[in-house]
């Protein structure tokens, strides 16, 4: 009795010590708190790149990540958004299900695409350190800054002369995250450019004596205004807006009343979602029952029965069933010569559509509008036909692909700084060019349909581009013949025939699989106390054996 009363008092003290929000990050944290209601507005429709952590407050690995994540948020302030979603909150669980969250913490980088409200979402697989997170996010910040040299200066200035422009004169060849973020703030109202100090004519024209120097050209015949302050984003945003007579783009976008009216109040109770997770993840729903009790200030220890946890898990299986919203369609990239050769230029390869990408001065530079439109049209046409499984493969070929460069030269296609689309059939030894000049979806689809219907002119594909990739495979066979070690291999053949029956028995031990995750729960606890690289916990198996088929699903 004494021990039970002591436990009750301890539990009460823990309950009252928990913050009201019961979240991992405080309100004054640099990490942006996002919910299912605000995710669309703050992240999906944002002009800025974001990294989002899907977490549970009880997860030890989430708690270990917190200091590094908050440090990354401070370093990225003004450049990108660092956000977090509490998947332990029942109102957020459908969102976590749609985003494919299977364990905690899960980090995803979300960057805007050409289609508003349909961002590109990528899993962050890097180290859980502030610097690694910052570097990964900075790399994904869109680049709307034009690199201008002496030859192209007049052309750039004359384009949209009435539009305000901003130029950063710098000694660096790469475009900084600060300048890219600044260009995003005024995307559509102020054009941004970067000029290096080695462009002597441009430097002399504007009378630049130190680097970096930011100059704003208000437009028309108005003289340029030089920025004299510190290279800090807030101050630079204010200066550009005042000098150019423009306002920064609103971010986040204003909420739409209709959508807000549809959103229902989230239930206060916390449910335990049950999902399979990969090795080393904190399971979704672990400890959610205790969180529910603490939030409602109830101290009945009997409420943590195994039956209650199982019932809670069954009720919340619905979030994973939610349909994942498709992002913009994309083409598979062939960035190596071997991949292009294997898929499309082998003697028995059938029809392939190849989009030969143009070269870029900097890997962070965006593709030209013409190339972006071509890729989008191709991807949409492929997606349309792929649903019926009635289309040949479409690929984009990197400008660095050596075989792709050879294709350009041999077939005398467009220059390397322009996109070009061709269809090749190595088995039939023909190719066909996309005539252009526009890359609208209708034009691309009409061209693809003509190929499908075997219509239109074709040209002979040179034999020099068709390489037999099967011939090199014969060499290793010869190397195995003289090997005297082949004799013991023969001796090993009889026992190899016996284990063939073992996989048949593997169907029976399938019921024995549920006990295997039990030590995983222990490894989860061990991982929480040890410093592993990207540590995560797998969910402990609480259901009885008869629920094993459910786990396999």
- The label of the residue with tokens 């075997």 reads 454
Do residues 24 and 45 share a domain?
A: yes
pLDDT of 500 > 50? The answer is no
Do residues 124 and 230 share a domain?
A: no
* C-alpha to C-alpha distances, 374 to 379, 411, 441, 445, 458, nearest whole angstrom: 9, 20, 8, 11, 21
- What's the rounded mean pLDDT across residues 301-308? 34
- What's the rounded mean pLDDT across residues 354-365? 84
Report the candidate in 301, 382, 391, 297 with the shortest Cα–Cα distance to residue 351: 391
DSSP code for 101: -
| Order of strands, sheet of 430-433, starting from the edge strand that comes earlier in the sequence | 332-334, 394-397, 351-356, 420-425, 430-433, 459-460
Tell me, yes or no, whether 52 lies in a domain.
yes
Report the candidate in 428, 434, 462 with the shortest Cα–Cα distance to residue 447: 434
In degrees to the nearest 10, what's the CA dihedral of 286, 290, 293, 298?
Answer: 160
Do residues 9 and 132 share a domain?
A: yes
pLDDT of residue 230: 93
Single pTM value for the model: 0.49
Write out pLDDT tens, residues 450-479. Answer: 888 888 889 999 999 987 755 444 444 444
Do residues 136 and 273 share a domain?
A: yes
Rounded percentage of the chain residues whose pLDDT exceeds 70: 66
pLDDT of residue 480: 43
pLDDT of 318 > 80? The answer is no
Do residues 97 and 213 share a domain?
A: no
In this structure, what token pair is assigned to residue 422?
Answer: 């061709």
Do residues 307 and 342 share a domain?
A: no
In this structure, what token pair is assigned to residue 395?
Answer: 């690929």
pLDDT of residue 266: 43
Residues 6 or more apart whose Cβ sits within 8 Å of residue 157: 165, 217
pLDDT of 319 > 80? The answer is no
DSSP state letters, 209-223? -SSSEEEEE-STTPP
CA separation for the pair 55, 93 (Å, rounded) = 11
* C-alpha to C-alpha distances, 418 to 367, 413, 441, nearest whole angstrom: 10, 10, 18
pLDDT class of 167 with cuts at 50, 70, 90:
very high
pLDDT class of 132 with cuts at 50, 70, 90:
very high
Tell me, yes or no, whether 480 lies in a domain.
no
Tell me, yes or no, whether 531 lies in a domain.
no
Residue ending a domain, choose from 465, 493, 527: 465
Tell me, yes or no, whether 429 lies in a domain.
yes
Do residues 155 and 21 share a domain?
A: no
Report the candidate in 261, 321, 268, 260 with the shortest Cα–Cα distance to residue 38: 260
Do residues 211 and 165 share a domain?
A: yes
Tell me, yes or no, whether 476 lies in a domain.
no
- What's the rounded mean pLDDT across residues 202-227? 93
Tell me, yes or no, whether 185 lies in a domain.
yes
Q: Give whichever of 254-268, 379-393, 429-443 has the largest mean pLDDT.
A: 429-443
Q: Say if residues 174 and 228 touch (Cβ distance below 8 Å).
A: no
Residue that wins the pLDDT comparison between 470 and 54: 54
CA separation for the pair 472, 478 (Å, rounded) = 11
CA separation for the pair 90, 59 (Å, rounded) = 16
Do residues 183 and 277 share a domain?
A: no
**CATH code, 106:** 3.40.30.10
Phi-psi group of 436: left, alpha or beta (phi > 0 → left; psi -120 to 50 → alpha; rest → beta): left
Tell me, yes or no, whether 343 lies in a domain.
yes
Strands (E), 68-223: 81-86, 103-104, 106-111, 120-123, 145-147, 164-170, 190-196, 213-217
pLDDT of residue 205: 92
Q: CA-based Rg of the chain, rounded to a whole angstrom?
A: 30
Q: What sign for the dihedral angle of Cα 57, 20, 289, 14? A: positive
Write out pLDDT tens, residues 77-93. Answer: 999 999 999 999 999 99
Longest dimension (CA), the chain: 92
- What's the rounded mean pLDDT across residues 515-531? 40
pLDDT of 520 > 80? The answer is no
- The label of the residue with tokens 């441009």 reads 202
Do residues 6 and 150 share a domain?
A: no
Q: Other C-beta atoms within 10 Å of 465: how many?
A: 19
- Mean pLDDT, all residues of the chain: 75
Strands (E), 450-503: 459-460
How many C-alpha atoms does 474 have within 13 Å on its Cβ side? 4
pLDDT of 335 > 70? The answer is yes
Do residues 155 and 89 share a domain?
A: no
- What's the rounded mean pLDDT across residues 410-438? 91
Residue ending a domain, choose from 465, 497, 514: 465
Task: Please classify residue 84 by burial: count the beta carbons closer than 10 Å to its beta carbon, then call 0-12 exposed, 13-18 middle and 19+ buried.
Answer: buried
Looking at the 3D structure of the chain, how many domains does it have? 3
pLDDT class of 368 with cuts at 50, 70, 90:
confident
Q: Say if residues 219 and 65 touch (Cβ distance below 8 Å).
A: no
Write out pLDDT tens, residues 489-498. Answer: 444 444 444 4
In this structure, what token pair is assigned to residue 510?
Answer: 């399938």
Residue ending a domain, choose from 415, 447, 465: 465
Do residues 155 and 77 share a domain?
A: no
Number of helices and strands (H, E) in the chain?
A: 22, 18
pLDDT of residue 219: 87
- What's the rounded mean pLDDT across residues 356-384? 85
Domain encompassing residue 191: 145-244
Tell me, yes or no, whether 100 lies in a domain.
yes
The angle subtended at Cα 198 by Cα 197 and Cα 204, nearest 5°, is 70
């Amino acid at each position: 009795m004494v021990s039970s009363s002591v436990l009750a008092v301890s539990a009460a003290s823990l309950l009252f010590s928990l913050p009201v929000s019961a979240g991992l990050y405080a309100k004054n944290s640099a990490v942006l708190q996002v919910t299912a209601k605000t995710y669309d507005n703050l992240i999906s429709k944002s002009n800025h790149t974001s990294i989002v952590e899907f977490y549970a407050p009880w997860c030890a690995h989430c708690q270990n990540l917190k200091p590094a994540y908050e440090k990354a948020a401070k370093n990225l302030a003004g450049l990108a958004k660092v956000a977090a979603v509490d998947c332990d909150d029942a109102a957020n669980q459908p969102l976590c299900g749609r985003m494919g969250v299977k364990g905690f913490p899960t980090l995803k980088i979300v960057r805007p695409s050409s289609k508003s409200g349909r961002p590109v979402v990528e899993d962050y697989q890097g180290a859980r350190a502030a610097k690694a997170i910052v570097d990964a996010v900075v790399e994904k910040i869109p680049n709307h800054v034009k690199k201008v040299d002496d030859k192209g200066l007049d052309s750039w200035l004359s384009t949209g002369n009435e539009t305000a422009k901003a130029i950063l004169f710098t000694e660096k060849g790469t475009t900084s995250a600060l300048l890219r973020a600044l260009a995003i703030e005024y995307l559509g109202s102020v054009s941004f450019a970067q000029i290096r100090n080695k462009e002597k004519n441009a430097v002399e024209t504007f009378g630049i004596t130190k680097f970096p120097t930011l100059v704003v050209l208000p437009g028309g015949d108005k003289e340029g205004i030089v920025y004299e302050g510190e290279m800090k984003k807030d101050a630079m945003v204010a200066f550009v807006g005042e000098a150019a007579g423009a306002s920064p783009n609103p971010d986040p976008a204003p909420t739409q009343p209709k959508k807000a009216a549809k959103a229902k109040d989230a239930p206060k109770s916390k449910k335990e979602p049950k999902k399979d997770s990969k090795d080393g993840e904190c399971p979704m729903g672990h400890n959610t029952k205790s969180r529910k009790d603490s939030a409602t200030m109830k101290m009945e220890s009997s409420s943590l029965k195994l039956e209650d946890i199982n019932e809670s898990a069954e009720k919340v299986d619905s979030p994973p069933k939610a349909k994942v919203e498709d992002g913009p369609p994309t083409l598979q990239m062939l960035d190596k010569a071997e991949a292009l050769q294997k898929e499309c230029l082998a003697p028995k390869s059938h029809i392939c559509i190849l989009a030969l990408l143009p070269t870029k001065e900097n890997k962070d530079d965006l593709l030209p509008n013409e190339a972006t439109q071509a890729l989008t049209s191709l991807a949409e046409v492929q997606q349309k036909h792929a649903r019926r499984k009635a289309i040949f493969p479409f690929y984009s070929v990197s400008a660095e692909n050596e075989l792709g460069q050879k294709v350009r030269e041999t077939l005398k296609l467009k220059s390397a700084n322009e996109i070009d689309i061709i269809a090749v059939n190595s088995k039939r030894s023909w190719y066909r060019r996309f005539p252009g000049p526009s890359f609208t979806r209708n034009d691309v689809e009409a061209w693809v349909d003509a190929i499908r219907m075997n219509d239109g002119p074709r040209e002979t594909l040179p034999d020099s581009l068709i390489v037999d990739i099967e011939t090199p495979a014969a060499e290793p066979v010869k190397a195995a013949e003289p090997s005297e070690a082949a004799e013991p291999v023969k001796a090993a053949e009889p026992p190899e025939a016996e284990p063939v029956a073992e996989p048949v028995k593997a169907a029976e031990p399938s019921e024995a699989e549920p006990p295997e995750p039990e030590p995983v729960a222990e490894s989860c606890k061990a991982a929480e106390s040890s410093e592993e690289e990207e540590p995560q916990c797998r969910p402990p198996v609480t259901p009885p054996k008869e629920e094993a088929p459910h786990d396999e699903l």
